[in-house]
Amino acid sequence: MAQPKVYVTRRVPAEGLELLKKSCNVFVWDSDDVVPRATLLEKVAGMDGLFCTISDIIDKDVLEAAGHSLKVIGTMSVGMAHIDTRECAKRGIEVANTPDVASDSAAELTVALLLLTTRRLVEGVEAVKAGEWSLWRPMWLLGVESVNRTLGIVGMGRVGFGVARRMKPFGVGRIIYHDEYQPGYAADVGAELVDLDTLLSESDILCICCALTPRSRNMFNASTFAKMKKSAILINTARGAIVNHDELAKALAQGDIAAAGLDVTEPEPLPTDHPLMSLDNCIILPHLGTNSKETRINMATNTAMNITSVLCCGQA
């Protein structure tokens, strides 16, 4: 029996490719850059499986180009907004993501960004490089400690819980969260479920850890920022579209909130001339939430297993 064919849209960890190659014929766009649209439409034709990333737009045109042979799409990501899942369902194409393997990395990055932002560490590094470091000054680059602060979390899923668990030893005074659900493990970190207005008005540090849905899109906007403390610090490591970036820039410039740390933006990358780029009280990272060797290997192997479990089920 001929082995199923799988197209991989990016250079990924070898562990994932080797797992695929054990049972499939594998074709790879061997580059760190996004596969050109025309190339994707050409190469996907006749494939049984597609191994993609969050940067690849898998829409009806791609599915048409693949043809009736396509049985499974495995995305090396948690999010699936880049895939037309409804069209896949119509065509009987399985779609699989990697929700369980990136949570620790994302939670760790969220805490790191939180500390960078609250303690103004990037400003400190830049000051040293610019020769602005002089003798000790009592009022220079004063940040905010986490001790006794109220930590607010939007979305108490795996990442939100991971952030709460990691921040407990820092001595936060209270952990509150807003979620459509009330996961039982929130009690393990003493987290209290509150409505969104309470979360906004009482959080000193507010971390966005929820999924992007129609309800969460543009959740943080001028109206939202007006309800937050002027001393509040906003951290977003979830999805860029949850925050209105133009209105965030105004809120930061006007002092409606104190600071923000973003690992995700809308669009990505954020244009270099966007107002947020020039603000000292806004730290922007290039979407590093899953950027650890361990997580990327796990994501690649998990994606490969998702694909082979569909394509090779029942094969002798």
Where in the sequence numbering do the catalytic residues fall? Answer: 287
The CA-CA-CA angle for residues 216, 222, 226, to 5°, reads: 105
Residues 169-178: contacts with CB within 8 Å, 24+ apart? 170/146, 171/146, 171/147, 172/146, 172/147, 172/148, 172/205, 173/147, 173/148, 173/149, 174/150, 175/150, 175/151, 176/150, 176/151, 176/152, 176/202, 176/203, 177/152, 177/153, 178/152, 178/153, 178/154
Q: What are the beta bridge partners of residue 52?
A: 75
- The DSSP element (H or E) to which 237 belongs, if any, is none
The residue whose two tokens read 């939180």 is 114
CA nearest to 7, candidates 24, 25, 21, 27? 27
Radius of gyration of the chain (CA): 22
Inter-CA distances, 220 with 55, 165, 206, 228, Å:
24, 24, 11, 10
**In whole angstroms, what is the distance from residue 163 CA to residue 3 CA?**
43
